[in-house]
Structure 1
């Protein structure tokens, strides 16, 4: 099929509707963060709008970049200096658009990070928990995977990352809670929702004690590792819907 283009503002409107961005109280603006050229033929997606991603996107001839972690976070220095200046200058010099979606991309039932992680690990979602229903709760779809250790091996196999386990690997799986990225603060909500296992990207020092004291096994699987798949799925959807070029570029991050 011949490659086409899409108008920048039409794409922004489509993404706003699809991801329901006005629903969320977020830490950053969701949508078009840096305005570039009007006509988009080539879209590059990635997790974080780092210099490495921008450079790789420019090599692909990107007209627009779609990320989960963009710019202008609440509480950050508003001055355009240092690395912020370098990043913005690259985009503006080359007339490249930057679209960023944080919580809306975590939450989307099809393209969201939680949904895509569940698909890769074989998690069957049954309910939600936490503020804005950010956390997901469910069970393993494969009856052969019965222990925390089994789930950990599944994570390593599917994500290419060995998770940090807090708890007994022999503990049997019951209700599993999960939320990608820096979702360690939702552990208490997961416990209240009935989870006996919780999986996220990051874990913090107090979370270790709460997991141990509650008897809920915790798997920390990596912030980047758990959030690679939503933006990739969304980029593929946009390419199929509007017949534009799409490249997902994975800039490795050990965290």
Structure 2
């Protein structure tokens, strides 16, 4: 498959043209024309690029790529080093951000729900914040353990003194969704899961009576890129290798 054909196929799959994102979705850095081996990962960091070189990959596909809005346009320092690896080794870089967060089959939110056995019921904020329920209500400690096992890291759990004793109704948004905590509280959930936490999040949780789990931006956004890689491998017989570069955040 050619690099431009791959971009077209994934854009069609994820309906990329319908999004007004704050970053370029699709092919970000052009490399060799034919693609037979792909490395996938959450972020196009230096270590992931070097793994692609070591494995002689033709392309890298990530959730967090380059060229964000308001990002400095000067090519120097860390950005120069990253782009140099891609250009010297003729490796394509593809990135899909918001389209890969909210896709109903391959999205980070859907994959997070599947991992935690949350039955999706609908949206709190369309299309970024979903809500759903557990089949059986569980204690906060038990749910925290489930999160730890599912994501391979210890989540930060903060809760109000009057938070529900059992968790059943859950709102969730992968990545940096802590800014939606007030809308989740207004909706009336028992708990809210996202990747990160901010200073003001603690006060919102404390004053609005719910549980909050910061499960890691990286950890909550592995599912989408893995699902996309699996689809490419099955559909087009491309070798796809997911590389999980450790990130505690």
Q: How far is the alpha carbon of 1:136 from its aligned partner?
A: 0.9
Q: Does 1:188 align with 2:182?
A: yes
Q: Does 1:91 align with 2:83?
A: no
Counterparts of 1:104 and 1:234, CA distance in 2: 11
Q: How far is the alpha carbon of 1:234 from its aligned partner?
A: 0.6
Question: Which residue does 1:66 correspond to in 2?
Answer: 61
Q: Does 1:52 align with 2:47?
A: yes
Is the 8 Å Cα contact of residues 44 and 62 (structure 2) preserved in structure 1?
yes
Q: Per-residue CA shift, 1:149-172, capped at 9, x if unaligned?
A: 221110011111111111168721
Is the 8 Å Cα contact of residues 149 and 170 (structure 1) preserved in structure 2?
no
1:30 to 21, 25, 29: 25
Could you list the runs of 4 or more consecutive aligned residues of structure 1 that deviate by over 3 angstroms after TM superposition? none
Question: Which residue does 1:13 correspond to in 2?
Answer: 8
Q: Please list, as runs of the form range in 1=range in 2, the aligned pairs for 1:73-152 lying within 5 A after superposition.
A: 73-130=68-125, 132-141=126-135, 143=136, 145-152=137-144
Q: How far is the alpha carbon of 1:98 from its aligned partner?
A: 0.5
Q: Does 1:171 align with 2:165?
A: yes
What secondary structure sits across from 2:207 in the alignment?
Answer: helix
Q: How far is the alpha carbon of 1:24 from its aligned partner?
A: 2.1
Q: Per-residue CA shift, 1:97-118, capped at 9, x if unaligned?
A: 1000111111011111111111
Structure 1 alignment gaps of length 5 or more: 1-5
Give the paired residue count: 247
Give TM-score, length-normalised by structure 2: 0.95
What secondary structure sits across from 1:195 in the alignment?
Answer: coil
Q: Does 1:220 align with 2:214?
A: yes
Counterparts of 1:61 and 1:159, CA distance in 2: 29
**RMSD, aligned α-carbons:** 1.3
Q: Does 1:154 align with 2:146?
A: yes
Structure 2 alignment gaps of length 5 or more: none
Counterparts of 1:185 and 1:14, CA distance in 2: 33
Counterparts of 1:202 and 1:149, CA distance in 2: 19
Q: How far is the alpha carbon of 1:242 from its aligned partner?
A: 0.2
Q: Per-residue CA shift, 1:213-241, capped at 9, x if unaligned?
A: 00021011111111112101110110110
Q: Per-residue CA shift, 1:98-144, capped at 9, x if unaligned?
A: 000111111011111111111111111110122x4201100113x2x
Is the 8 Å Cα contact of residues 164 and 210 (structure 2) preserved in structure 1?
no
Report which stretch shifted further, 22-31 or 83-92. Answer: 22-31
Question: Which residue does 1:3 correspond to in 2?
Answer: none
Counterparts of 1:249 and 1:16, CA distance in 2: 22
